[in-house]
Structure 1
Amino acid sequence: MTQVKILKIGGSVLTHKHGDSELNDTALDAAITDIRRWRAENPSQVLVFLTGGGSFGHPLASRYRVNAPTPEKDPLGFLRTTTNMHGMGHQIAQRFLDQDVPFFPIAPSSIFFTDQGRITESDLAPIIHALDNGLIPFLWGDAVFDHSHTYRILSGDQMSMFLGERLGTGDLLFGTNVNGIFTRDPQTDPAAEQIARVDDQNYQRVLESLTDSRSVDVTGGMRGKIEEIHAVQKRPLMCIIYNALLAGNTYRALSGDGIGTRLFFE
């Protein structure tokens, strides 16, 4: 198999995160255009696409405490959360299919199990067969069965890192709603400065400077993303975090252009 690219675009991009289960049509159309263009120019390359739960997942997961580290949970809350996330996944897949982009939706709750929120079991056969047949496997943040806590939220970020290790990816790309990693929150602080590179030397300092997301995000926001990336065992490891709200940026990230923040760990 050709080396796999893993692209995860956040729920804060593809949904209106403060809305009620609402897709961001402008951002979704931009992603479709960029991926379709890149795929037409690179027919031999293979891609796995993921997104976060956004407004389809985080509010329900928070309301029903699906991600709480306890086994006492409401099964109907779990079902409402995962069903809504599946609905989002199929809406997005249909939009890509309407533009002849061969997205194959795979429900994470059907192929992953966790223990205390971390993946312990997986069935990657559907992903591998999809790639072998020229399709783009598409997964999303989901509520899954957990051995210790009954149910937990499995984030798109954790799945991205897991798949990157198991599939031997050469590229991990993360589309967010900001231009990369900043010294402060760029959405609230005009003095925030973009960090061009995160590596072994400045990782801890950068991590300590990050604050929690201002919106409801049960998976940890930017800080959680950086921690997930750093936890990947593969070395050397290079990732890109970029602004997927800007049309053309996803194409540039897939093409290897120098945008966003690069993370490099040896």
Structure 2
Amino acid sequence: MENNLIFVKLGGSLITEKSAPYTINYDAIRRIVKEIKEAIDAKQDLNLLIGHGGGSFPHPIAQSFRTIEGFIQTNSVRGFALCQNAASTLNRIVVDLLLDYGVDAVSIQPTACCIAENGEISDFFIKPIEASINNDITPIVFGDCVFDTIRGCTVVSTEQILTYLSKYIRPSRVLIFELVGGVYTADPQKDKKAKLIPEITVENFSTVESYLGGSYSVDVTGGMLKKVKELLKIAKRGIECEILSGQSGNIKKALKGERGLGTIIKPITLFN
């Protein structure tokens, strides 16, 4: 859609304290929003679609009620409602901060416009997102619980949403900012010997998958392995993706065009 459009994802563990329910990492999120605003001001033709994870807001509820599995028990409907409320509460905080820093952002609630089929997005009403971008407004999506034609309900990750949208709203790049600096051979927060994998391709993915087989950073949406699998789908459309740390300065650097700050998922060259 726009060759100056970048999809950005802010990891839930980056903007919340994932071990403490309903706890925002305000120092991190204020710094991140400031960097986003500075990048937009420095590059006037830059368009962003921003997504964020749920972190310590919806994840504990989704785990407790097994929301990703569907309406499977008597309290599943209650769990769905609580999970959606928690996800949208975090989204409201993120949008409020973006507005406070001068970014013209608008919330796009997946529950209201997205339908899944057996855990995968099957339909998404994208016209409001397209209208936002065309009018220089930054749409903010988020990992959310949605209705599912097979399970009744499920949980879709931000990566699933970005993968689906990339079919119709083509970005130049996809940047996934996380607490860790990319994809590693083991969990870098637990294993000092973990090494950064600088590049993932279709060819080396089976090796990478073996490192992630015991998967670190697992949450209700599948953790790092599921994240990489989703980004490979985008790469197969000829779009470069990168997973990198949301540490100070990185967001601004990446939005200005710097590459190789984390793990690049190489795009497959498309021939017409």
The TM-score bracket by the shorter chain reads: over 0.9
Identity level (%): 28
Aligned to 2:2: 2
Shift of 1:9: 1.0
> TM-score scaled by structure 1?
0.95
CA displacement, residues 117-168 of structure 1 (integer Å, 9 cap, x when unaligned): 1111111011111111111000111111000011100111101111122101
Aligned to 1:187: 189
Q: Residues of 2 paired with 1:169 and 1:127: CA distance?
A: 13
Which letter does structure 1 place at the counterpart of 2:165?
L
1:145-156 aligned within 5 A: 145-156=147-158
Which letter does structure 1 place at the counterpart of 2:198?
A
CA displacement, residues 3-60 of structure 1 (integer Å, 9 cap, x when unaligned): 2210001101011111111111111012111100110011212110000111111100
Match status 1:213 vs 2:211: no
Comparing 168-177 with 62-71, greater Cα deviation is found at 62-71
- Structure 2: segments with no counterpart, 5+ residues: none
Aligned to 1:16: 17
1:35-114 aligned within 5 A: 35-68=36-69, 71-72=72-73, 74-114=76-116
Query: Measured at CA, do residues 232 and 257 of structure 1 come closer, stay the same or move farther in structure 2, by a change above 3 Å?
Result: closer
Which letter does structure 1 place at the counterpart of 2:209?
L
Shift of 1:179: 0.9
Aligned to 2:257: 256
Q: Residues of 2 paired with 1:242 and 1:104: CA distance?
A: 25
CA displacement, residues 186-216 of structure 1 (integer Å, 9 cap, x when unaligned): 111111111111112211110121132356x
Q: Residues of 1 paired with 2:216 and 2:208: CA distance?
A: 15
Asked whether the equivalents of residues 34 and 250 of structure 1 are also in contact (C-alpha less than 8 Å), the reply is: yes
Paired residue secondary structure (2:56) = helix
* Residue 175 of structure 1, aligned match among 177, 186, 190: 177
Shift of 1:265: 3.8
Q: Residues of 2 paired with 1:250 and 1:265: CA distance?
A: 21
Q: Residues of 2 paired with 1:208 and 1:241: CA distance?
A: 18
Which letter does structure 1 place at the counterpart of 2:216?
S
Aligned to 2:130: 128
Asked whether the equivalents of residues 145 and 152 of structure 1 are also in contact (C-alpha less than 8 Å), the reply is: yes
Asked whether the equivalents of residues 12 and 177 of structure 1 are also in contact (C-alpha less than 8 Å), the reply is: yes
Q: Residues of 1 paired with 2:70 and 2:251: CA distance?
A: 35
CA displacement, residues 226-255 of structure 1 (integer Å, 9 cap, x when unaligned): 0111233743331111001x1111111112
Asked whether the equivalents of residues 110 and 141 of structure 2 are also in contact (C-alpha less than 8 Å), the reply is: yes
Paired residue secondary structure (2:58) = helix
Paired residue secondary structure (2:98) = helix
> TM-score scaled by structure 2?
0.93
Q: Residues of 1 paired with 2:217 and 2:95: CA distance?
A: 28
Asked whether the equivalents of residues 240 and 253 of structure 1 are also in contact (C-alpha less than 8 Å), the reply is: no
Asked whether the equivalents of residues 183 and 243 of structure 2 are also in contact (C-alpha less than 8 Å), the reply is: yes
Which letter does structure 2 place at the counterpart of 1:49?
I
Asked whether the equivalents of residues 43 and 256 of structure 2 are also in contact (C-alpha less than 8 Å), the reply is: no
Shift of 1:76: 1.2
